[in-house]
Homo-oligomer: A and B are copies of this chain.
Amino acid sequence: MNPSTPFPAVPPAAIEIWFEFGSNYSYLSVMRIEALCAQHALHLRWRPFLLGPIFKHLGWDTSPFVTQQRKGRYVWRDMERQCEKYALAWRKPSQFPRRALLPMRVAVLASDETWMGRFCKQVMRENFVRDRDIDSPEVVGRILRDLDLDAEAVLAAGGCAGNKARLRQQTEDALALGIFGAPMFRVGSDLFWGNDRLDEALAAASRDRT
């Protein structure tokens, strides 16, 4: 994608997912990607980043699905159809895009933990199925307890200065990579944008292995 970028390429047989809990198309991919990586025998690297600063960099106050009304109308209809296609539950959130700083910090902290996938899927369900405020300690704490974790300890670690800085850095990395939306997949040094390109990204990662 950007041969001039100093960013190291993703290693063979691996794929990165760059995502945000507030992003509806990220919902589709976060729910699907673990099982697909298992099928393809690919290593999955979670890369949570904040979309807000990316939109700001592009000169936008909020999601284009809000500012462009006709595109927004279309997107909610498209989401109904896509969720039906992938057999995923769906309810249009009463607030969009939802602020997700708290669970995003936990996601950065947990990126290499075995419970990362289960945590991310549950946060996505709270936003796009149960229509809950995913930026609240109550909701995130309950998700963590349901995973048999020490919720208070995880939330405290997520909120420490070093971890906050990691999320900021990862968002700057997204900018440096040329990322302009979510979800985005990285294979080698190639980018694939949107849940619509997940299958092609997986195929590319499988090819790169050989």
Q: Which residues of A contact B (CB under 8 A)?
A: 1-2, 58, 68, 70-71, 73-74, 77-78, 81, 85, 178-181, 190-191, 193, 196-197, 200
Q: A1-B73, A1-B74 are in contact. List 5 more A-B contacts (CB 8 A).
A: A1-B77, A58-B68, A70-B180, A74-B191, A77-B190
Complex contacts, A70 vs chain B, CB 8 Å: 58, 178-180
Copies in the complex: 2
Q: Is the CB of B193 within 8 A of A78?
A: yes
Q: Is the CB of A193 within 8 A of B74?
A: yes
CB distance from A79 to the nearest CB of B (A): 12
Q: Is the CB of B74 within 8 A of A178?
A: yes
- Give Cα A200–Cα B196 distance, bound, in whole angstroms: 12
A73 nearest CB neighbor, chain B only:
B178
Complex contacts, A58 vs chain B, CB 8 Å: 68, 70
Complex contacts, A85 vs chain B, CB 8 Å: 200
- Give Cα A93–Cα B85 distance, bound, in whole angstroms: 35
- Give Cα A81–Cα B70 distance, bound, in whole angstroms: 29
- Give Cα A181–Cα B193 distance, bound, in whole angstroms: 18
A190 nearest CB neighbor, chain B only:
B77
Known: A58-B68, A74-B1, A74-B178. A196 touches B196 (CB 8 A): yes
